[in-house]
Structure 1
Amino acid sequence: MNVYDFDKTIFPTDCSIDFFIWCMKRHPKLCFTFAPKVVKNLIMRKIGKMPEYLMQREFFCYLTLIDDFDEQIERYWDKNEKRIAPWYLAQKRPDDLIISASPDCIIGPIAKRLGVNFMATEFNRKYGVFLHNLMYAQEKAQYMIDHGFPKIDHFYSDSLSDTPIALCAEKAYLVKDKARTIVDWPDLDEETLSKVYEKVDTGWNVHLDE
């Protein structure tokens, strides 16, 4: 089984942010009712006043405001499916697993189109809450272990934060340049490890009851 991150790995950008922009263009009221909150939270995160997981939780609340979500997400993927990296399509297998921190309601439709398995952050659009931990960093590896997934042959990701799951694979690759360049996962020397710790220790890996 091969495992792939999604955003900036087999898709060149962050689909959750892209979809937010897509929705703002089609529902301009979001520009006035929700976008200012996003900007404020970004500033709060930048100055260290808001943890990453809380900023993400607040951001994804926009999904509760899209009355025609089912229509919009299909239209979004109708237009953007072609942006999936050609190198991935050339090697895609039916037992591939996409694993993403983006909400499952965004990742699910494209995974279905690709005909592959997926796991993503479970998000309840009705109440605007995450049902489980954000699927980030070591949470990805722990989730796979807990659910008894088979051995990983190859793993691809754009972020060193995914080192915990890269270590579970027979071979891991780092993807760069907006899903265009693939290199071997770097050796975990002192400098690389410091980058890994910085990436992982962002306040994401918390339980919802904390």
Structure 2
Amino acid sequence: MLRSASDTETKTVVFDFDHTLYDGDSGTHLFAWLIKRNWWRQALALLVAPVCGPMIAFLPTRRYGISAYVWIGTIGLHSRGSLDALVDRYVATHAEAIRPRLLPVALDVLHGHREAGDRVVIATGAPPELARAILAFVAHEAVPVIGTVVGPKFGGVGAKRHCHAEEKMRMLREHGYGDIDIAYSDSSADLPLLKAAKAPVVVNPKHGAVGMFRRALSPGTPILNWGCAGRGGTPAEASPGQQ
């Protein structure tokens, strides 16, 4: 279906990355690889698992549990640049494993917005270089990415500013993306983003979160599944704005 005249105006469109464009948690996959590089990192990860593992299961303590594993994976790195170099190496050497995790329907929607001339940006809780490298190297899409700011921390690299929940909205506004037309996300943590968008679209939500999204967002908000197995939403071939 062709866009109407009002639809031809440039839109600002924000995509989450994990479970939205990518089937899974890209940061977890990266940091698991970083930890597996050395036997002593693996041993240290096992040592902290009884404490840090349960922390990851609960939203209020999740960032602290994840931060411990990020630190273990990055001990010896002293800058964002050194982590970015490892991220690029990880993506280049794991492209064949990463490619099937990129959801074709999601990439079609992303590409459709870019072809329409919309301002498209990725906002993710992962390090921005990870999403940027995956999209550029594997999917051949060059898209601006706003993500968690990292830097030196206790002999490794850690989060300085977590692109998450309300902080994600603050970071988007700081980068000039405050007036959002369409937002795509799976996460309850992205409710501030979805509520800020004129046309929110929930994609690949957890089954247990579907009711919450229906209550929290405007009636008629699309709740779609773009091919993320084990997730909720109505199977769809394209978002409403791209059909």
TM-score (norm 2): 0.63
Over 3 Å counting, the alpha-carbon distance change for 1:26 and 1:56 in structure 2 is: closer
Question: Counterpart of 1:130 in structure 2: which amino acid?
Answer: A
* Aligned with 1:158 (options 183, 186, 203): 186
Question: Counterpart of 2:23 in structure 1: which amino acid?
Answer: P
Q: Which residue of 2 aligns with 1:115?
A: 142
CA distance in 2, matches of 1:99, 1:24: 25
Q: Decide whether the 8 Å contact of 2:184 with 2:202 is kept in 1.
A: yes
Per-residue deviation, 1:6:
0.8
Deviation per CA, 1:22-59: give whole Å up to 9, x if none: 345554443223243244312356699x8333222222
CA distance in 1, matches of 2:57, 2:105: 35
* Aligned with 2:125 (options 98, 101, 106): 101
In structure 1, runs of 5+ residues without a counterpart are 190-210
Say whether 1:76 aligns with 2:104.
no
Say whether 1:86 aligns with 2:104.
yes
| Aligned 1:34-183 pairs, distance under 5 A | 34-44=45-55, 51-65=61-75, 69=86, 70-92=88-110, 93-94=113-114, 95-113=119-137, 114-124=141-151, 127-131=156-160, 133-149=161-177, 151-176=179-204
Per-residue deviation, 1:100:
0.7
Deviation per CA, 1:40-88: give whole Å up to 9, x if none: 312356699x833322222211341488824223223453033211111
Secondary structure of 1:8's partner?
coil
The percentage of aligned residue pairs carrying the same residue is 20
Question: Counterpart of 2:120 in structure 1: which amino acid?
Answer: D
Q: Decide whether the 8 Å contact of 1:3 with 1:96 is kept in 2.
A: yes
CA distance in 1, matches of 2:132, 2:46: 25
Over 3 Å counting, the alpha-carbon distance change for 1:77 and 1:38 in structure 2 is: farther
Q: Decide whether the 8 Å contact of 1:38 with 1:59 is kept in 2.
A: no
Question: Counterpart of 2:65 in structure 1: which amino acid?
Answer: M
CA distance in 2, matches of 1:168, 1:47: 25
CA distance in 1, matches of 2:157, 2:52: 17
Greater relative CO, 1 or 2 (CA 8 Å, sep 6+): 1
Equivalent pairs, count: 183
Q: Decide whether the 8 Å contact of 1:152 with 1:168 is kept in 2.
A: yes
Secondary structure of 2:147's partner?
strand
Task: Please say which structure displays the higher CA radius of gyration.
Answer: 2
CA distance in 1, matches of 2:63, 2:92: 27
Q: Which residue of 1 aligns with 2:223?
A: none
Q: Decide whether the 8 Å contact of 1:111 with 1:117 is kept in 2.
A: no
Q: Which residue of 2 aligns with 1:13?
A: 24
